[in-house]
Amino acid sequence: MRTPFIAGNWKMHKNSAETAKLIGEIKKLTANVSGVDIAVAPPFTSLASAKIALGSSSIGLCAQNVHWEEKGAFTGEISPQMLLDAACGWAIIGHSERRQYFGETDETVNKRFRSALSAGLGAIVCVGETLEEREADKTSGVVERQLDGAFQDTKDSNLEKVIVAYEPVWAIGTGRTATAEQAQEVHGLIRANLALRLGEKVSSATRILYGGSVKPGNAAKLLALPDVDGALVGGASLLAEDFSAIIRASVKNE
Ligand code: PGA
């Protein structure tokens, strides 16, 4: 009942020409795939090239971050309105690399999230624990605290445009993936938390993506889990063949 969603987070990779090339390849390899929503998140400087390369394709364009103000003296930031103008339908918010390296907090995640939703931008909100937190048995507490922070005062927002991504920090870019059991456990917890917060109807309609070293070889198993509705893919989204294989794996499990 939930259409799978596969998003490629390109991080700080691909200039304009490389973006056009990669999108061309992804379009070709996914031309006859249906029943899945696909999005790519190139760096800001490649959004214009991505828009042209996507043309009339149904692949969505996603930003890797978004600021909460519409405009103003915020050097280095991009507003939701600017992203809409650049043809983005989505923004990733609170990625662990932003939290770890750039001082993102639950409070700034909440501001970005609310502002994206009120501008009509879809939001992929990331949560996930570090290895230290997992080993100290703090995973559920950390994920719940991050959800509390992100979702504060969003009850009346445009919640059909919300996606939650569970990305255990220890699995990102490390080649280590959560086991099916670990992923399902946290995804189930996120869905239950959303149900308490926003009601059963919204919770059961919300897509929860897994992220962290998703590859063609492990995608089918993860995507078959009852509460895993797609993937946020980093490294493997930079290779058209791998990204397309993950997309196809999501459909087979429909
Ligand atoms: P990875 O990145 O697939 O390279 O682990 C995932 C992410 O950071 O979204």
Structure confidence at residue 252 as a pLDDT band (50, 70, 90):
low
Lowest mean pLDDT across 2-11, 136-145, 171-180, 228-237 = 171-180
Average pLDDT in the 25-42 region? Answer: 97
User: Does 173 sit in the ligand 1 pocket, CB within 6 Å?
Assistant: yes
- Which pLDDT score, from 0 to 100, does residue 160 have? 84
Give, for ligand 1, the residue of 9, 64, 65 to mutate: max count of ligand atoms closer than 8 Å to Cβ: 9
- Which pLDDT score, from 0 to 100, does residue 219 have? 97
**Euclidean distance between the first and the last CA atom of the chain, given in angstroms as a whole number:** 9
pLDDT in tens, 47-96: 999 999 999 999 999 999 999 999 999 999 999 999 999 999 999 999 99
Q: Whose CA is nearest to atom 6 of ligand 1?
A: 234
Residue 139, pLDDT above cutoff 70: yes
Q: How far is the CA of 168 from the centre of ligand 1 (A)?
A: 10
Average pLDDT in the 152-173 region? Answer: 89
Average pLDDT in the 133-148 region? Answer: 97
Q: Please report the atom of ligand 1 found closest to the CA of residue 97.
A: 8
Residue 200 known to be catalytic: no
User: Does 233 sit in the ligand 1 pocket, CB within 6 Å?
Assistant: yes
224 in Cβ contact with 181 (< 8 Å): no
Q: Please report the atom of ligand 1 found closest to the CA of residue 215.
A: 3
Q: Report the distance separating Cα 131 and Cα 138, nearest Å.
A: 10
Task: Find the catalytic residue in 67, 95, 104, 129.
Answer: 95
| Mean per-residue pLDDT of the chain | 96
Residue 137, pLDDT above cutoff 70: yes
User: Does 94 sit in the ligand 1 pocket, CB within 6 Å?
Assistant: no
Q: Whose CA is nearest to atom 7 of ligand 1?
A: 234
pLDDT in tens, 164-174: 999 999 999 89
Residue 95 known to be catalytic: yes
pLDDT in tens, 180-220: 999 999 999 999 999 999 999 999 999 999 999 999 999 99
- CA-closest candidate to residue 237, choices 3, 84, 8: 8
Residue 253, pLDDT above cutoff 90: no
User: Does 230 sit in the ligand 1 pocket, CB within 6 Å?
Assistant: no
What are the DSSP calls for the chain, one per residue? Answer: -PPPEEEEE--S---HHHHHHHHHHHHHHTTT--S-EEEEE--GGGHHHHHHHHTT-S-EEEES---SSSSSS-TT---HHHHHHTT--EEEES-HHHHHHS---HHHHHHHHHHHHHHT-EEEEEE---HHHHHTT-HHHHHHHHHHHHHTT-TTS-GGGEEEEE--GGGTTTS----HHHHHHHHHHHHHHHHHHH-HHHHHHSEEEEESS--HHHHHHHHTSTT--EEEESGGGGSHHHHHHHHHHHHHT-
Residue 1, pLDDT above cutoff 90: no
Average pLDDT in the 153-162 region? Answer: 83
